Chains A and B, each alone.
Chain A
Amino acid sequence: TQLLEQSPQFLSIQEGENLTVYCNSSSVFSSLQWYRQEPGEGPVLLVTVVTGGEVKKLKRLTFQFGDARKDSSLHITAAQPGDTGLYLCAGSRGKLIFGQGTELSVKP
């Protein structure tokens, strides 16, 4: 049973397009993190959201934590080929549980 469901699993878009990745759960998390993973490497933290309703921006990336702290979204504006990678959400409940990931491909 997957505690965290990410959608979509795969996303292929053209440079300049916008996109949103969703991370949903029926469980409440004390915090939620987003990681990015490139081939042959381990995941690297992008952001941590803690408060329900919290919105954080990292350049062209906008992260939102749901009011009930059960879901989150990642929005990328004007995607670039350098954004290509595997995006993982992870919920904290004493231990960190990861979603299945969203494989993003941005074509020039």
Chain B
Amino acid sequence: DAGVIQSPRHEVTEMGQEVTLRCKPISGHNSLFWYRQTMMRGLELLIYFNNNVPIDDSGMPEDRFSAKMPNASFSTLKIQPSEPRDSAVYFCASSLKTGGMYTGELFFGEGSRLTVL
């Protein structure tokens, strides 16, 4: 079975450029999460969707960041314009949320390592 698929695995770009990260969750999962991981701040939740609807975007750093989930099998995280402090590994994860406060087991992709020069 295919796991969570993220692309690109690595991206190097220059400050001011637009960056788009892509994620295909596991088929049948109803929740999708975008996390950012850095040495300084660890794994931070940026935004999560339930049934393709954004539920909590309080972790999105600022208006330069946006995320969409047009259907159950695809999501994007866009940074425009990018800045050097956005350099991090961005993870997408999906889960089958059965209700209540329990998120279920998160299945992570391999991550997209972003370097903004």
Contacts and interface: CB of A to CB of B under 8 A. Distances in A.
Interface of B: 4, 33, 35, 42-45, 48, 55-56, 91, 93, 100-103, 105-106, 108-111
Given A42-B110, A88-B43, A101-B43, A95 B48 contact: yes
Contacts of A2: 42
Contact of B42 (A31, A45, A101): A101
Contacts of A41: 108, 110-111
A88 B105 CA distance: 14
B46 to A, nearest CB: 11
B42 A96 contact: no
Interface string A80-104: 0000000010101111111111000
A33 B110 contact: no
